[in-house]
Amino acid sequence: MGLLSRMSVVVKAKMNKIVDDAENPNETLDYAYEKQLESLKKVRENITKMVTAKRMLMSQADKAKKDIVAIDARARKAMELGREDLARMALQHKQTSLLQLEGLDSQIYDMELEQEKLTQMQQRLQAKVSTFKTKKEVIKAQYSAAQAQVRIGSALSGLSEEMGDISLAIERAEGKTEKLKAKAGAIDELAEAGVLDDFSDRSDPIGRELAQLTAAANVEDELAALRSSLPTTEKKALGDGE
Amino acid sequence: MIVRIMTEGQYDLPGAFIDELNHIDNDLVEVVADENEAEFATLLKKMLDLVRENSTPVPIDELVESDLVLPEPDITLLEAEEVFVGEGLVPG
């Protein structure tokens, strides 16, 4: 069986549950409508959850930005006092914070995409649920219960399919949010410990080593920049000390 | 023929495209078996674009069942594998 047929099976497995739960035709209509409203509510709740998770990441990013500013000030101060060793340590820490910030920014971007997708799906489901509501009242008024069952059948399948699709999307989004949260927590801990090489998410050893070399080069560049920005007397003092 | 792209919506695609879709589908099965990530992404995009470019979108307030369901555009190879073994995506 190809991916196409498997996908249909997956969605239909989701949707049949919604339809099969009720037997009496008129009850089916009302029951289905209630289910749809529940489903819509769930989607909204999930979007809210995602927004909350995104805010958490954003506040972490803000903190990282502030850290970076503070570290810069510390490094400069250390240089002014002639403590290049302390300045170097601070700047190494800054590289960690920069990596953390980069990771957070890309996660925030991912969350935004996910949120956008769910919002669009929610709008689609909302439109379909409204159509279903109108249709169900018309059919209930015009047809006997048995006829209504037939009339509503395809509309109900169409709607159930939409709900199957969206509930699968929510499951995926929830999984992603959980993973992101776990990752954000881990990054926080590592950043606090100032561990640069452990959290860079590079699985290949070459990329990892390059990242470390880049970070080390950045530190030296910034040190050099700090050095040249100091007033000449202090520079001289530093030069004497070497 | 009504085709759903998961998370994206439904499209009304002329039936003539079914052979081409099936063809890509067969290739997809192979690349999933080979765990060829790059080729998987290329083929999936080819399949979805075929639908997007040759169909008219079903209005969002229309209630109709799909004849075919295609995976979401951002499905990963790993997730596709799960679909094949029937795990993960359909709990309980």
Give this complex's ipTM. 0.81
Chain A residues lying within 8 Å of B64, measured CB to CB: 154-155, 158
Which element (helix H / strand E) includes A12? helix A3-20
Per-residue pLDDT tens over the stretch A105-146: 988 998 898 889 889 999 998 998 898 888 888 877 877 766
The answer to whether A99 and A200 have CB atoms below 8 angstroms apart is: yes
Q: Model confidence at A241, in pLDDT bands (50, 70, 90)?
A: very low
* pLDDT at res. A212: 77
Which of B3, B7, B28, B83 should be substituted to probe chain A, the one whose Cβ sees the most A Cβ atoms within 10 Å?
B7
The distance of A102 to chain B (nearest Cα, Å) reads 22
- Edge-to-edge strand order for the sheet containing B2-5? B56-57, B9-12, B2-5, B68-70
Task: Report which DSSP code applies to B66.
Answer: -
* pLDDT at res. B73: 92
Backbone angles phi, psi at A38, to 5 degrees: -60, -45
Q: Model confidence at A62, in pLDDT bands (50, 70, 90)?
A: very high
Structure tokens at A187: 């990054």
CB distance from B23 to chain A under 8 Å? no
Task: Report which DSSP code applies to A2.
Answer: -
Structure tokens at B17: 């495209």
Q: Model confidence at B85, in pLDDT bands (50, 70, 90)?
A: low
Candidate from B9, B83, B90 with C-beta closest to A3? B83
Per-residue pLDDT tens over the stretch B19-78: 999 899 888 888 988 889 999 999 999 999 999 999 999 998 888 889 999 999 989 888
Which of A1, A4, A8 should be substituted to probe chain B, the one whose Cβ sees the most B Cβ atoms within 10 Å?
A4
Candidate from B21, B64, B65 with C-beta closest to A4? B21
Q: Which of A128, A138, A142, A140 is nearest to A24 (CA)?
A: A140
